[in-house]
């Protein structure tokens, strides 16, 4: 099949269109703006809706309204903008409105910088806004997955009636790779709960206010039940040379490809090292780590942050194996740095 050279942000936008995304609402922010720009060029010609909102708050609430009509809709932003969207994401989660939210992430806190980062991991995986909720978080590692995950993201969102986030480092949004462009999706699930006007049926209501304490608890238990199901079914990881490994490096997103290179370098130096790449950040693929914990003596989490996913690995292995951390922010750890970290551990453990 012919491959096409595409920029990550554009591949994601095109993937969303192929998945049947009917509306995009966004607010400009580096390094995610190309998604909005791509949609602004393409969507009007396809008879779909592109609207530049006055704020991130408005954008996410336009998503709320548009998702309530039963259509596939999305927004995209980056760190500071995603923080502003948290109010709306909490409402989307409780109203169970399927929607796609993209974070082409940059370093914080505050305005931070525009360099790629993974420091929004806590925000993405812990819900982010107020209340007990989760959203599904997918972390692509290349431009092909930017397209594929946009499409899968909409499927997951519709299937579980949940907001889905794609979190990709700014680099992934900006870089180009040859990809296979997928076929458009034509068969979309019906959404009888949508508010489209009550012709021929009883009125539908979409709300998140539950003044009865018992009903509020019931709603929360319903959400938790759904989250448990998602944890059981959708947690996903890729493993590389883990079977005989003494040490397992963990990294997600584009960082996982850099870490893979370091793993191969260290293998050449005779170190039995493998890699686990969480594909879903929530649900966190605990099983992959628990299985590896049966035979490895150490984990090393490598992140473009000051250490966030490392906490989930520690929770997953629950003290059975030590979990070390290496990370940078502003800059991206390079393969040589990671190899040095691996060799340092190898020396401490007496493997070399």
Partner 1 sequence: MKVVAQRPESLTDAPFHYCPGCTHGIIHRLVAECLDELNLREQAIGICPVGCAVLAYDYFNCDMLEAAHGRAPAIATGIKRLLPDRLVFTYQGDGDLASIGMGEIVHASGRGENITVIFVNNAIYGMTGGQMAPTTLLGQVTTTSPYGRTAEQAGYPLKMAELLAQNQGAAYICRTAVNNPANVMRTKKAIKKAFQTQMQAKGFSMVEILSTCPTNWGLSPLEALEWLEKNMIPYYPLGEFKVS
Residues forming contacts to partner 1 in the complex (CB under 8 A) are: 22-23, 25, 49, 51, 53-55, 57-59, 61-69, 71, 73, 87-88, 91, 195-200, 203-209
Nearest distance in Å: CB 315, partner 1: 31
Q: In terms of CB distance, is 99 or 308 closer to partner 1?
A: 99
ω into residue 85 within 30 of 0, thus cis? no
Q: In terms of CB distance, is 48 or 106 closer to partner 1?
A: 48
Nearest distance in Å: CB 84, partner 1: 11
Q: How far apart are CA 261 and CA 266, in angstroms?
A: 9
Contacts of 218 (CB under 8 A, 6+ apart): none
Neighbours of 302 (CB within 10 A): 27
Q: In terms of CB distance, is 55 or 318 closer to partner 1?
A: 55
Q: In terms of CB distance, is 74 or 332 closer to partner 1?
A: 74
Nearest distance in Å: CB 118, partner 1: 28
Q: How far apart are CA 171 and CA 334, in angstroms?
A: 14
Nearest distance in Å: CB 87, partner 1: 6
Nearest distance in Å: CB 203, partner 1: 5
Secondary structure class of 86 (helix, strand, coil):
helix
Is residue 108 within 8 Å of 296, Cβ to Cβ? no
Pick from 85, 77, 82, 80: nearest CA to 31? 77
Q: In terms of CB distance, is 20 or 307 closer to partner 1?
A: 20
Nearest distance in Å: CB 208, partner 1: 6
Q: In terms of CB distance, is 55 or 348 closer to partner 1?
A: 55
The DSSP 8-state label assigned to residue 202 in this structure reads: P
Q: How far apart are CA 29 and CA 288, in angstroms?
A: 35
Contacts of 273 (CB under 8 A, 6+ apart): 241, 245, 246, 247, 248, 249, 263, 266, 267, 342
Q: In terms of CB distance, is 54 or 244 closer to partner 1?
A: 54
Nearest distance in Å: CB 127, partner 1: 16
């Amino acid at each position: 099949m012919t491959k096409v050279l595409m920029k990550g942000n554009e591949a994601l936008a095109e993937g969303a269109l192929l998945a049947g995304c009917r509306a995009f609402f966004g607010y400009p922010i580096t390094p995610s703006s190309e998604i909005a720009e791509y949609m602004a060029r393409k969507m009007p010609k396809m008879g779909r809706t592109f609207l530049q909102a006055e704020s991130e708050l408005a954008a996410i609430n336009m998503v709320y309204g548009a998702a309530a009509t039963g259509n596939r809709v999305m927004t995209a932003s980056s760190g500071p903008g995603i923080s502003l969207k948290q109010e709306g994401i909490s409402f989307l989660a409780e109203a169970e409105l399927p929607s796609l939210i993209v974070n082409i992430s940059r370093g914080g806190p505050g305005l931070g910088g525009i360099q790629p980062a993974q420091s929004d991991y806590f925000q993405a995986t812990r819900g982010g806004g107020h209340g007990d909720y989760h959203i599904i978080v997918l972390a692509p590692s290349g431009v092909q997955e930017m397209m594929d995950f946009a499409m899968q993201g909409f499927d997951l969102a519709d299937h579980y009636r949940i907001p889905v986030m794609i979190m990709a480092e700014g680099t992934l949004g900006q870089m180009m790779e040859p990809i296979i462009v997928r076929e458009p999706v034509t068969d979309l699930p019906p959404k009888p709960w949508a508010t489209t006007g009550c012709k021929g049926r009883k009125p539908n209501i979409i709300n998140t206010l539950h003044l009865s304490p018992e009903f509020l608890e019931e709603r929360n238990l319903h959400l938790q039940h759904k989250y448990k199901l998602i944890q059981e079914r959708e947690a996903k990881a890729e493993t590389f040379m883990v079977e005989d490994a003494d040490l397992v490096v963990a990294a997600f997103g584009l960082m996982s490809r850099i870490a893979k290179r370091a793993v191969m370098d260290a293998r050449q130096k005779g170190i039995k090292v493998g890699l686990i790449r969480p594909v879903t950040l929530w649900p966190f693929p605990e099983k992959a780590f628990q299985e590896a914990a049966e035979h490895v003596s150490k984990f090393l989490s490598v992140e473009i942050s000051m250490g966030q996913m490392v906490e989930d690995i520690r929770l997953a292995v629950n003290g059975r194996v030590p979990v070390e951390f290496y990370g940078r922010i502003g800059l991206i750890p390079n393969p040589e740095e990671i190899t040095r970290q691996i060799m340092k551990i190898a020396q401490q453990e007496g493997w070399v």
